[in-house]
Amino acid sequence: MKRRSAIAVLAAGFLAGCKKVQESAPMKRLFAANDGFHEGLHNVLGRRTALAREYPASMIDRNFRGNGSRTVDTPEYRAQLAAGFPDWKLEVGGLVDTPLSLTLDNIRRLPQRTQITRHDCVEGWSAIGEWQGPQLSMLLEAAGLKPEARFIVFRCADTLSGRRYYESIDMVDAMHPQTIVAHRLNGEDLPEKNGAPLRMRIERQLGYKHAKYLTGIEAVASLDDIEGGKGGYWEDRSGYQWYAGI
Ligand SMILES: Nc1nc2c(c(=O)[nH]1)N[C@H]1C(S)=C(S)[C@@H](COP(=O)(O)O)O[C@H]1N2
Ligand SMILES: [Mo]
């Protein structure tokens, strides 16, 4: 019953949400705020909403490197991995009207976006891959963001040096058409090292923003009280920039 209602909510959200991302409520508010404002802000928004470059299939790196966590070191994850993640749940919650609990099957049945993009890691390597999954904006529209929601936090299953990995973005990136919840890489289910079964793609930002082993998507008003308060695992620990635009 619970699962069916999540799908119904998603379907309704999708039908309502077929309009362009630019016409979604948060983007409307952004562009309204920009009306009559000076050119500088207009240019910044233009840059932030522009698409990241997409590449031809001939340029795909067939063995996409795994970086940071390359697995989740728990018996539960190993069992899920071996069984094809039958019980993996992606929770969409926080400041939303209707929290969603989605299975992989739910995610696979949603309208999909496929994009061939270049991943850039701060450590100095890049790789081109083809990613597939539903747009984050669709999930957020289905759940219904409350007006106070300003950031989206991504929760992950893995720990690095004893701390849960997490990340966050603002609504411009959350509503960006290339921001997707990816479950496939280069035409196959996401490999373990690349974040199976689900990971974020946030194509206008550096690699550490792209949360792997995704378990939760949470809408919040402020990042101050989350973990170290700087909006991400590396931001808390190493002073990496929260906004990692490329
Ligand atoms: N959950 C989680 N997500 C993560 C990391 C991590 O260690 N754990 N590493 C980040 C970093 S620094 C990079 S460059 C990319 C690497 O993605 P890849 O393993 O698919 O190359 O994942 C990012 N997302
Ligand atoms: Mo990275």
**Protein residue whose Cα sits closest to atom 16 of ligand 1:** 67
The top-level CATH class assigned to 3-238 is alpha beta
- Ligand 1 shell residues, CB under 6 Å: 64-69, 121, 156, 158, 160, 165, 193-195, 207-208, 210-213
What's the pLDDT at 28?
58
What's the pLDDT at 92?
98
> Helix 2-16 and helix 136-143: axis angle, to 10°?
110
pTM as predicted: 0.87
Q: What is the pLDDT of residues 148-191, one digit of tens each?
A: 999 999 999 999 999 999 999 999 999 999 999 999 999 999 99
Q: Write out the DSSP string of 82-109.
A: HHTSTT--EEEEESBSS-EEE-HHHHHH
Tell me: pLDDT of 18 over 80.
no
Residue identified by tokens 């378990």 is 215
Task: Give the closest residue to 94 by CA, choosing from 10, 218, 216, 222.
Answer: 218
Q: Where are the domains of the chain?
A: 3-238
Give the separation between CA 87 and CA 193, rounded to whole angstroms.
19
Tell me: pLDDT of 212 over 70.
yes
Cα angle: 101, vertex 132, 232; to 5 degrees? 65
What's the pLDDT at 93?
98
Closest ligand (CA of 199): 1
CA of 68, closest atom in ligand 1: 7
Query: How many angstroms is it from 139 CA to the middle of ligand 2?
Result: 26
Question: What is the phi/psi pair of residue 162, to 5°?
Answer: 80, 5
Give the separation between CA 233 and CA 56, rounded to whole angstroms.
33
Query: How many angstroms is it from 34 CA to the middle of ligand 2?
Result: 33
Tell me: pLDDT of 98 over 50.
yes
CA 114 to chain centroid, in Å, comes to: 14
With residue 172 as reference, give the H or E element that holds it. helix 171-174
